[in-house]
Amino acid sequence: EDQVTQSPEALRLQEGESSSLNCSYTVSGLRGLFWYRQDPGKGPEFLFTLYSAGEEKEKERLKATLTKKESFLHITAPKPEDSATYLCAVQAYNYGQNFVFGPGTRLSVLP
Amino acid sequence: DTAVSQTPKYLVTQMGNDKSIKCEQNLGHDTMYWYKQDSKKFLKIMFSYNNKELIINETVPNRFSPKSPDKAHLNLHINSLELGDSAVYFCASSQESRNSPLHFGNGTRLTVT
């Protein structure tokens, strides 16, 4: 069965303490892997799309990487404003237009 | 301008009532979705719809029905509301192409008492 898991469930960092979030997936025919950020009371906000193993994308303090089985979201020198829930989602060829989401990692960055 | 907007933001109602949530997107996308986010923050697809096809997640009760008056709108109607329907409902849109991510509204928190 196709599925998406994320770890850790929650992560607390001190400001400036770099770390990584993991998204593992088992799908047949990956069409794309997407990272989103969700703030309380808001809808998920798109961050990155990755399509093939070895691909990397960067935006400010965030860098996303992709292998055949998992993706990492690396956060370098995080700031308190990076606190949010980070969701990954996969789109597979056998899902059509559907996106399957992982449960998210709740990140707290303390000043 | 808000890209995907949904109303109301909060909806409190009693069991057995019928309610609707409205969604509009101004991105020119051809596919719209409804997702349900439960108390554990898990986002699950309920429906996806474009000009050609409505795809329903088979686990969604038939009390839930999407209605699309045009390409920019996908409303969600819920009949005979139950306590277990309490959740946050998100509307989203995308363009049917490999490169298009989902764009979400800010959600409707439904509370059934």
Nearest CB to B55: which of A43, A96, A101? A96
Nearest CB to A98: which of B48, B50, B103? B48
Q: Inter-chain contact A51–B94, Cβ cutoff 8 Å?
A: no
Interface A-B: count of C-beta contacts within 8 A: 59
Binned at pLDDT 50, 70 and 90, residue A2 comes out as low
Residue B90 sits at the chain A interface (C-beta within 8 Å): yes
DSSP assignment of chain A, as one string? --EEEEE-SEEEEETT--EEEEEEEE-SSEEEEEEEEE-TTS--EEEEEE-STT-EEEETTEEEEE-SSEEEEEE-S--GGG-EEEEEEEEEGGGTT--EE---EEEEEE-
- Which of B5, B21, B43, B54 should one mutate to test binding to chain A, selecting the residue with the greatest count of A CBs within 10 A? B43
Binned at pLDDT 50, 70 and 90, residue A1 comes out as low
| Residue A43 C-alpha, separation from nearest chain B C-alpha, in angstroms | 4
pLDDT computed for residue B57 by the predictor: 81
CA distances from B2 to A39, A83, B90 (A): 17, 23, 14
pLDDT in tens, A66-105: 999 999 999 999 999 999 999 999 988 766 667 889 999 9
* CB neighbourhood size of A44 (10 A): 28
pLDDT in tens, A14-70: 999 999 999 999 987 888 999 999 999 999 999 999 999 999 999 999 999 999 999
| Residue B47 C-alpha, separation from nearest chain A C-alpha, in angstroms | 9
Q: Inter-chain contact B42–A85, Cβ cutoff 8 Å?
A: no
Nearest CB to B42: which of A32, A103, A106? A103
pLDDT computed for residue A109 by the predictor: 97
Q: Nearest CA to B74 among B101, B93, B88?
A: B93
Q: List, edge to edge, every strand of the sheet that includes B19-25.
A: B4-7, B19-25, B73-78, B64-70
pLDDT computed for residue B39 by the predictor: 81
Q: Inter-chain contact B102–A99, Cβ cutoff 8 Å?
A: yes
Encode chain B (113 residues) as per-residue pLDDT tens digits: 669 999 999 999 999 999 999 999 999 998 999 999 988 778 999 988 987 688 778 789 999 999 988 889 999 999 999 999 999 999 999 987 766 899 999 999 999 99
Please give the residue of chain B at the shortest CA–CA distance from A90.
B101
pLDDT computed for residue A105 by the predictor: 97
